[in-house]
Amino acid sequence: MEINRRDFMKLIGGSLAGLAIGGAAGAVMKLPKSAEPILYSGPRIESWKLTACTACPGGCSLKVRLIDNLPIQAFGNPLSPINEGGICSMGLASVARLYHPDRLTGPMKNVNGKFVSISYDEAYKILKDELGKVIDNKKQDDVFIAVQTESKLRADMFKKFSEETGFSNLIIENFQASGAYPYNQVSGEAPDFIDFDKCDYLLNFGSQITEVSENPLYYTRKIIEHRSKGFKHTAVQPKLTPSISKSDDWVPLLPVFYADFALGIAYVLLKDEQYDKAFVEKYFTGFNDFKQYVLDNYFPDKVQELTGVPSDKILQIGRDFEKAAAPAAYFDETIFYNSNGTENALAVIALNALKGFGGFGKLKEEFFSKILENEKKKEEEITFANLKERLSGHKAIKALLISGSNFVYNSPDQAELKKQLSEIPLIVSFSSFVDETSSFAHLIIPDHDDFEKFDLLIDKSMGLPSATVLQPVVDHYYNTIDTSDVLISLMKDLKSGAKIPYDNYNDYIKQFANKIYSTHEGILMDQSKPTVIEKGLRKIGWQTESYSSFDDFWDGLLDAGGWWNPFADKTSYNPKIDFKTNFGKQNASMKKSLASLPNKKLRLNIFRKNLDYKGSMSLYPVLVEQFGLKWTVFYQLWAEINPDTASKYSLQDRSKVVLKTSRGKFPVFLVYNPSVIPGSIDVPFGLGHTNFGDNCGVNPLAYSDDLFDKSTGMPSFSETLVEIDSASSGSSAYTAQIITDEKKLSGTQNRSVYA
Amino acid sequence: MPRYGMVIDLDKCNQCGACVTACKLENNVQIVSKENAEMGRAMFWMKMLDTSYEGSYPDVRAVNVPALCMQCDEPSCIKVCPVRATFKRDDGIVAQIYPQCIGCRYCMANCPYTAKVFNWFKDEQPVENEKCQNIDVSVRPKGVVEKCTFCIHRLQIAKEKAKAEKRELPEDDYVPACVEVCASKAIYFGDLDDPHSKVSKAMHDYRKFTLQEELGTKPKVYYLSAKSE
Amino acid sequence: MNDHQFVDEDEVLFRPIYQTSKSFYILAAALSAVLLFGVVMYLRQFIFGLGETGMNEPVTWGFYIISFVFFIGISHAGTLISAILRLSKAEWRRPITRMAEVITGIVLIIGGIHPIIDLGRPDRIMHIFERGRLQSPLLWDMTSITAYFTASTIYLYLPLIPDIALLRDRGGKFHKLYEILSWGYQGTAKQKHVLERAINILMVMVIPIAISVHTVISWIFSMTLQPGWHSTIFGPYFVVGAIFSGIAALIIVMIIFRKVFHFEDYLKKIHFNYLGTLLLVMSLLWFYFTFAEYLTTFYGHEPSEMRVFLYKFTGGYAPFFWLMVFCNFIVPVVFLSNKKLKTIPGILIASITVVIGMWLERLIIVVPSLANPRLPFITGIYVPSLTEISLLAAATAAFILGFMGFSKIFPLISIWEIKEGREESVRMVSARLNEYLPSKGHIRKEIV
């Protein structure tokens, strides 16, 4: 067949066109490359493993779904008494952390500003040699160890390390320990839990109790359960957070005024003489001075003047508090996010003392204190305050070990802090990522991911001892090593003759579990909750199950995901309180300037969302996307302002505004929110990382004044004043109006969800 | 045939947003790029309706309603689809057939609950989410409409399991992801026609209402709220 | 075969086919470039996805649907002038009908392609044919547009046959084409009769089809539950709006070609006067429907409807809304009811503003209802992207190019009808007039 040129060109053209169309059609049908793992053809065998979540202090038990032995999803463990199958967004998203591209694959050394991979032996040698030198020179006081962990056992390991090596400057940031700290200060012991069986009134000072707290999912369930039985929950917070949806009343109050408010309530109790006189006589030293002081200085009108809360509200809450049989005025670590946090906490403790700490409870047997080696000792080293003092005083620090803490991000004085950190000769970080703090490290020995390590998370907040198992769902991918194992090796190498009866952290956990086993108490978490009959039987001595040996128990423990003792006896919390404090003298000028705002200034109130705890949300793209979903704001920092305040400064809804503090300017996207305290501007915390996860947004804490609670060193979140630098009218994209109806609160029959 | 429905107790809901995240992760709903999110193309099958507030300061309360496809009994979206890519199954779930959809978005225009989302682009997902995708759910190509399906893949798996084990499908075997993860157990799910199911019992509540019942779409997602909002 | 041999008295009507000026080629090149750019942008959209447009949630329909409704609306020019005027035996229609029918033909193609451009998966277009659901307004839409397109193409072709015969007889270029298309028409009495019958049948058929087209398009919106769309008035409203925009487009086309091809003798001032009056009437009718629609919405004061209403009247879309009212009502009424302003340039200005105003009206109908969903979502915003704007420009360019192409092959004014009008109209009209008027006297019956 003859093909002449024209036909040939037609053929070529036709086939090219065909290819183009096919290519285009292929382009249409193409799925993104990221979908390929789903399409892969392994045998796709599904398996489940139980572990625990470490995203927040709650320590919920997780049920991880693995396909071909790779974890892909996490759900709540339905049989765990802590969360009963529930899980929060942070836990759901945390599986992605295993596969994060920024995860360090092995020990890194900082060589001229860049991180270079080195072997573990090399890294360990450097660490051992440097620390050895310090010990030889007897300069152990110049070494700081900063740890943030929610695991008591891990904290215990660090305490042992500090004790053995003599590096006594140990800072352990632990949520539950922070909450217990002021109690320990005044009485030497802290309550273990809120006793929901007895408590009928919860006055919550600043805790986002159902979002991020000691045990958020448990508290949510309990509050819901007990509300129908006459339990009341009043929240005193600077912001209308989702926790307040589970409360009956909200008192908008800035944290700086918590002490004044608490003492105002105390005034009502004292004046009405409705306080627990028996308790006070027996346990409250210095009560009479306290009573006189409060009666002289905290009558409701004066408190109204100081804090802005109307005096009839104070009276009403005070009367509720005194009428309650077992009220609890509750606070947790969040109370320290203010420069007079300790004072606030002490005032709340005093208020509790007036009603005999009725709503709190303690375990009858100090179960875990029996078996934790260092539970009681060294509670006071939980503060960053002394680290900051050392750094700001430019007193030489020889070495700084950091584990689990990104304190550079969580601090206001970032520029100064960064400068001071760069002067420390040896910084060793155990972080899995190069975040704001570990970027200053000379040596990084990355820890296992939380899905790759062993631990036991012990908890008392449910009113009974429980230990949730954290176990590896996969073998560790990279050349990482459990930090506790490094510590154990260091202890053995640095201190000759150290009595360390375990080789690695696994052994330590096993020994601890053995101690639990040998008490022959409690049950594993793979059974449903025991009934009253079972509890009764247990009391008289009947056992419901037994194990032939410890190994049997251990296997059962790993299968079940945890252990708990629902038969533990509770008792009331009766501490001896010794109060010698001067309330009201602290922070007088700050209170004044926050109450009556100077010209054109607004209060910057930084708040935390439940998607973020300690600023690690940026690692998870799913959470970053949802961060501002409530206001339909994506990937930028927004600020919420009361419409009345906004109209005073002629700021428009959904407009771009630049805020100015003493540290600089930063842009925000302004939205109207009628629940914001007038005169405040609320900005969320969690965005604005510089080299960790998603880099969108701004870190508002970096623009705050360097104020912190003097005894714990926690930064203040709501005491900076800002002014509006410039405002634009209307935003560029997604202009909108939210229609608010101010009259809907008292029921009408209008059923359409249109508020 | 069961008729699957859902009851969401707003008085129990603590607005944590776990249902939103769970739905997204379970169904491989894509995370759109930043520019697209700004433009309003963020894809959420289950979303918290925009926060609105009632009352005036300081007696303010936030109204947060988790909203998903209402799986109506008289859906307005299926009426207008030109190719039957969305239709109501016998068990009450309004299904979306991705290979059938031509992307005309008429169903989206007709949904009074704005429940459907569209795949405007198909962006590459972040590397760390790649490995966490759920193998049970297909990834939609671009140009098709998608929406909440009451995690119908879980129903299929549960049915297959029940069949293989030669037993009936018990109530608790099939729950959508949002129901499973809710910490306050605020979402009930099950067969509305079965008087003994949990969801039917939850329906016998004076606080019950549906969104926009005046439109006659007969949504099968009911809400319980003591406040009349 | 030499085209200079024939010098017809209507030579000027034949001239555009045989002579092409340089500016024609330049304009054709420029428009082709715009069209090509639009095609390239569309291919980008095809490959990357509909995200190339500015649509989002909740505004899921944008420029494409707006242009779809707009272009199909303009197609009503053909029906009104051609069919209705022919039906009512109005003599002044003669030079206008061809251009009207051509507008319909071209614009239906352009408008009919727009929903395909709007689809997320245009590669699955066959699903509509294989598995279409007749319960869906989109299917009714497809059916009626196809029917209308078929009917109007035939209705364009049938009166074209005698002109093609004339062209064939002249010889010259496209001779083969004319021979095929003229079907051997010789102008015999029998053929003429058959042709007249066919045109009459079609002319009656086309009117209900045309009205159904735009009614069905309006039902795409009014069959939904969205506030601002779910209104019974949409059917007649859209038809009126379509006829309105159709007349305006027709006037613009007429004025332009009159200037370019020197048709002043055929398209006289009186044609424009009549069309201008029609435009004025449609403007008032349009205003009546708009006013009725918004008054009932405002009076009922239902919350979701009011949200859309306020968005149009005082909210983000207020500039477009009031511009639309200005373009559709104020300018035509001012220009067309005032004798001094009702000149050809004045009518041209009024028509251009009407075309712009009607496009804005489609915008006002589509976007605000979508941007203000019933549930308390924030108002969506829609910013058209380069792809959408370039496709709108490409559609306009295609329209003009289509006309230019047509003018090179077929005469733009119906030559045989002009001739028929010259020769026979006077007689026919006098006969008709005598039928209307009372006879002269009671005794004598005169047959004229």
CATH number of domain containing B85: 3.30.70.20
State whether residue A429 is helix, strand or coil.
strand
- Residue A284 and residue A181 share a domain: yes
Pairing between strand A61-67 and A70-76? antiparallel
In chain C, whose CA is at the least distance from the CA of B52?
A: C376
How confident is the model over A630-640, as a mean pLDDT?
A: 90
Starting at the edge strand found earlier in the chain, the sheet holding A46-52 runs: A46-52, A61-67, A70-76
CB atoms A625 and B129 under 8 Å: no
Q: Does the residue A734 lie in any domain?
A: yes
pLDDT confidence band for A581 (50 / 70 / 90): low
Helices (H), C223-317: 234-261, 269-300, 303-313
CB atoms C120 and B119 under 8 Å: yes
**Looking at beta carbons, which residues of chain C come within 8 Å of B117?**
57
Total tally of structural domains belonging to chain C? 2
- Residue A329 and residue A308 share a domain: yes
CB atoms A753 and C375 under 8 Å: yes
Smallest Cα–Cα separation from C207: which of C125, C59, C85?
Answer: C85
Q: What is the pLDDT of residue A739?
A: 30
Interface of C with B in 78-117 (CB under 8 A): 115
pLDDT confidence band for B158 (50 / 70 / 90): very high
Contact residues, chain B to chain C, C-beta under 8 Å: 36, 39-41, 49-50, 52, 67, 76, 79-85, 100-106, 108-110, 112-114, 117-122, 141-145, 211-212, 215, 217
**Looking at beta carbons, which residues of chain C come within 8 Å of B40?**
56-59, 380-381
CA angle A549, A554, A555 (to 5 degrees): 100
Interface of C with A in 315-344 (CB under 8 A): 315-316
Asked if the C-beta of A733 comes within 8 angstroms of chain C's C-beta atoms, the answer is yes
Q: B11-26: per-residue pLDDT in tens?
A: 898 888 899 999 999 9
Total tally of structural domains belonging to chain A? 4
Q: Does the residue A525 lie in any domain?
A: no
- Residue A73 and residue A193 share a domain: no
The total of other beta-carbon atoms located within 10 Å of residue A645's CB is 18
| Range of the structural domain that residue C426 is part of | 415-448
- Residue C209 and residue C225 share a domain: yes
CB atoms B120 and C51 under 8 Å: yes
- Residue A319 and residue A185 share a domain: yes
CB atoms B110 and C226 under 8 Å: yes
Interface of A with C in 96-155 (CB under 8 A): none
Q: Does the residue A705 lie in any domain?
A: yes
pLDDT at A741 over 80: no
| Range of the structural domain that residue A138 is part of | 108-173+371-446
CB atoms C57 and B114 under 8 Å: yes
Query: What backbone torsions phi and psi does residue A727 show, to the nearest 5 degrees?
Result: -135, 145
**Looking at beta carbons, which residues of chain A come within 8 Å of C381?**
733-736
CB hemisphere CA count around B114 (13 angstroms): 30
Answer for the pair B120, B145: CB distance below 8 angstroms, yes or no.
no
pLDDT confidence band for A731 (50 / 70 / 90): very low
- Residue C342 and residue C206 share a domain: yes
Q: What is the pLDDT of residue A372?
A: 65
CB atoms B40 and C124 under 8 Å: no
Asked if the C-beta of C379 comes within 8 angstroms of chain A's C-beta atoms, the answer is yes
Q: Which of B12, B132, B212 to mutate to test the interface with A (most CBs of A within 10 A)?
A: B132
pLDDT confidence band for A737 (50 / 70 / 90): very low
Q: Does the residue C2 lie in any domain?
A: no
**Looking at beta carbons, which residues of chain B come within 8 Å of C302?**
none
pLDDT at A722 over 80: yes
- Residue C216 and residue C109 share a domain: yes
Q: What is the pLDDT of residue A751?
A: 27
- Residue A435 and residue A321 share a domain: no
d(CA B72, CA B210): 11
Cis check for the bond before B58: say yes or no (omega within 30 of 0): yes
pTM of the entire structure?
A: 0.88
The CB-based long-range contact list for A494-502 (8 Å cut-off, 24+ gap) reads: A494/A128, A494/A131, A494/A132, A494/A135, A494/A164, A494/A165, A495/A135, A495/A164, A495/A165, A498/A164, A500/A160, A500/A164
Smallest Cα–Cα separation from A491: which of A207, A197, A135, A253?
Answer: A135
Residue with tokens 């999110």: B37
- Residue C391 is part of a domain; what is its CATH number? 1.20.1630.10
Of A317, A335, A363, the one marking the end of a domain is: A363
d(CA C217, CA C145): 9
- Residue C426 and residue C396 share a domain: no
Q: Does the residue B88 lie in any domain?
A: yes
- Residue C280 and residue C356 share a domain: yes
d(CA B88, CA B94): 4
Mapping DSSP onto H, E and C, the string for C364-421 reads: HHHHHHHHCCCCCCCCCCCCCCHHHHHHHHHHHHHHHHHHHHHHHHCCCCCHHHHHHH
Q: Does the residue A144 lie in any domain?
A: yes
- Residue A735 and residue A654 share a domain: yes
Smallest Cα–Cα separation from A82: which of A101, A100, A102, A60?
Answer: A60
| Range of the structural domain that residue B128 is part of | 4-224
Pairing between strand A680-685 and A602-608? parallel
Q: Does the residue B106 lie in any domain?
A: yes
| DSSP assignment letter at A715 | B
pLDDT confidence band for A89 (50 / 70 / 90): very high
C317: left (phi over 0), alpha (psi -120 to 50) or beta: alpha
Q: Give the least confident one: A208-222, A342-356, B158-172.
A: B158-172
- Residue C422 and residue C409 share a domain: no
The total of other beta-carbon atoms located within 10 Å of residue A594's CB is 25
- Residue C439 and residue C400 share a domain: no
- Residue A352 and residue A392 share a domain: no
Q: Which of C50, C138, C225 sits opposite B82 (nearest CB)?
A: C138
Q: A385-430: per-residue pLDDT in tens?
A: 777 777 777 778 889 999 988 888 888 878 888 888 888 999 999 9
Q: Which of C47, C377, C381 sits opposite A735 (nearest CB)?
A: C381
**Looking at beta carbons, which residues of chain B come within 8 Å of A240?**
60-62
Total tally of structural domains belonging to chain B? 1
Q: Does the residue C45 lie in any domain?
A: yes
CB atoms C376 and A739 under 8 Å: yes
Answer for the pair A168, A161: CB distance below 8 angstroms, yes or no.
no
pLDDT confidence band for A4 (50 / 70 / 90): low
Which chains would you list as touching B if contact means 3+ CB atom pairs under 8 Å?
A, C
Smallest Cα–Cα separation from A242: which of B12, C444, C422, B20?
Answer: B12
State whether residue A268 is helix, strand or coil.
helix
**Looking at beta carbons, which residues of chain B come within 8 Å of A71?**
132
pLDDT at A69 over 60: yes
**Looking at beta carbons, which residues of chain C come within 8 Å of A732?**
none
- Residue A118 and residue A71 share a domain: no
Which chains would you list as touching C if contact means 3+ CB atom pairs under 8 Å?
A, B
CB atoms C123 and A736 under 8 Å: no
| Pairs of CB atoms within 8 A across B/C | 142
Q: Does the residue A236 lie in any domain?
A: yes
- Residue A186 and residue A91 share a domain: no
CB atoms A25 and C375 under 8 Å: no
- H/E stretch holding C426 reads helix C426-436
pLDDT confidence band for A22 (50 / 70 / 90): low
Smallest Cα–Cα separation from B26: which of B191, B157, B210?
Answer: B157
Q: Along the 448 residues of chain C, how does pLDDT read in single tens digits?
A: 444 555 677 777 788 887 888 888 999 999 999 999 999 999 999 988 898 898 988 899 999 999 999 999 998 888 777 888 888 888 888 888 888 999 999 999 999 999 999 998 888 888 888 888 888 999 999 899 999 999 989 988 988 888 888 888 887 778 888 888 888 888 888 988 999 899 899 888 888 998 899 999 999 999 898 998 998 999 999 999 999 999 999 999 999 998 888 888 888 888 899 989 999 999 999 999 999 999 999 999 988 899 999 999 998 899 999 999 999 999 999 998 888 888 888 999 999 999 999 999 999 999 999 998 888 777 888 889 999 999 999 999 999 999 999 988 888 888 888 888 888 888 888 888 888 888 776 555 556 5
CB atoms B51 and A623 under 8 Å: no
Answer for the pair B27, B45: CB distance below 8 angstroms, yes or no.
yes
Q: Which of B50, B104, B215 sits opposite C138 (nearest CB)?
A: B104
CB atoms A738 and C378 under 8 Å: yes
- Residue C354 and residue C279 share a domain: yes
Q: What is the pLDDT of residue A392?
A: 77
Q: What is the pLDDT of residue A614?
A: 82
How confident is the model over A19-28, as a mean pLDDT?
A: 62
- The share of chain A scoring above pLDDT 70, in percent, equals 89
Q: Does the residue A209 lie in any domain?
A: yes
Smallest Cα–Cα separation from A298: which of A250, A354, A249?
Answer: A354
CA angle B92, B97, B103 (to 5 degrees): 125
Q: What is the pLDDT of residue A3?
A: 54
Q: C140-158: per-residue pLDDT in tens?
A: 998 999 999 999 899 889 8
A742/C107: higher pLDDT: C107
A171/A383: higher pLDDT: A171
Answer for the pair B30, B119: CB distance below 8 angstroms, yes or no.
yes
Asked if the C-beta of A28 comes within 8 angstroms of chain C's C-beta atoms, the answer is yes
By CB atoms closer than 10 A (0-12, 13-18, 19+), residue C430 is exposed
Sign of CA dihedral A592, A594, A596, A597: positive
pLDDT at A381 over 60: no
A740/A297: higher pLDDT: A297
CB hemisphere CA count around C84 (13 angstroms): 15
By CB atoms closer than 10 A (0-12, 13-18, 19+), residue C130 is exposed
How confident is the model over B193-222, as a mean pLDDT?
A: 89
- Residue A212 and residue A322 share a domain: yes
pLDDT confidence band for A743 (50 / 70 / 90): very low
- Residue C430 and residue C365 share a domain: no
Pairing between strand A143-148 and A169-173? parallel
**Looking at beta carbons, which residues of chain C come within 8 Å of B102?**
119-122, 124-125, 127-128
pLDDT at A493 over 60: yes
Asked if the C-beta of A25 comes within 8 angstroms of chain C's C-beta atoms, the answer is yes
d(CA A690, CA C136): 52
Mapping DSSP onto H, E and C, the string for chain B reads: CCCEEEEEECCCCCCCCHHHHHHHHHCCCCCCCHHHHHHCCCCCCCEECCCEEECCCCCCEEECCEECCCCCCCCHHHHHCCCCCEEECCCCCEEECCCCCCCCCHHHHHCCCCCCEECCCCCCCCHHHHCCCCCCCCCCCCCCEECCCCCHHHHHHHHHHHHHCCCCCCHHHCCCHHHHHCCCCCEEEEECCCCCCHHHHHHCCCCEECCCHHHCCCCCEEEECCCCC
Q: Does the residue C3 lie in any domain?
A: no
**Looking at beta carbons, which residues of chain A come within 8 Å of B211?**
752-753
Q: What is the pLDDT of residue A632?
A: 86
By CB atoms closer than 10 A (0-12, 13-18, 19+), residue C233 is middle
d(CA A624, CA A602): 27
pLDDT at A742 over 60: no
Q: What is the pLDDT of residue A584?
A: 63
Q: Does the residue C270 lie in any domain?
A: yes
Smallest Cα–Cα separation from A100: which of A355, A425, A449?
Answer: A449
How far from chain centre, in Å, is Cα B191?
16
- Residue A275 and residue A418 share a domain: no
Angle between helical axes of C234-261 and C189-222 (0-180°, round to 10): 130
Q: Which of A28, A29, A736 sits opposite C378 (nearest CB)?
A: A736
Asked if the C-beta of C48 comes within 8 angstroms of chain B's C-beta atoms, the answer is yes
DSSP A650-705: T--TTEEEEEEETTEEEEEEEEE-TTSPTTEEEEEES---SSSS---S--GGGGS-
Q: Which of C225, C230, C304 to mutate to test the interface with B (most CBs of B within 10 A)?
A: C225
- Residue C300 and residue C399 share a domain: yes
Asked if the C-beta of C60 comes within 8 angstroms of chain B's C-beta atoms, the answer is yes
Over chain A, what is the mean pLDDT? 84
pLDDT at A745 over 50: no
Pairing between strand A201-205 and A232-237? parallel
pLDDT confidence band for A24 (50 / 70 / 90): low
Asked if the C-beta of A543 comes within 8 angstroms of chain B's C-beta atoms, the answer is no
d(CA A54, CA A212): 12
Answer for the pair C125, B101: CB distance below 8 angstroms, yes or no.
no
Q: Does the residue A16 lie in any domain?
A: no
Residue with tokens 């790649």: B130
Pairing between strand A284-285 and A327-330? unpaired
Q: What is the pLDDT of residue C443?
A: 57
- Residue C326 and residue C242 share a domain: yes
Which chains would you list as touching A if contact means 3+ CB atom pairs under 8 Å?
B, C
Q: Does the residue A259 lie in any domain?
A: yes
Residue with tokens 């936030």: B62
CB atoms C121 and B103 under 8 Å: yes
Chain B closest-CA separation from residue C367 CA (Å)? 11
pLDDT confidence band for A746 (50 / 70 / 90): very low
d(CA B217, CA B16): 29
Smallest Cα–Cα separation from A258: which of A238, A243, A231?
Answer: A238
Chain B closest-CA separation from residue C130 CA (Å)? 9
Q: Does the residue B125 lie in any domain?
A: yes
Answer for the pair C258, C264: CB distance below 8 angstroms, yes or no.
yes
Pairing between strand A443-444 and A426-429? parallel
In chain C, whose CA is at the least distance from the CA of A654?
A: C378
Q: Which amino acid is at B169?
A: L
- Residue A641 and residue A733 share a domain: yes
- Residue A128 is part of a domain; what is its CATH number? 3.40.50.740
Chain C closest-CA separation from residue B183 CA (Å)? 26
Asked if the C-beta of C137 comes within 8 angstroms of chain B's C-beta atoms, the answer is yes
Q: Does the residue B82 lie in any domain?
A: yes
Q: Does the residue B229 lie in any domain?
A: no
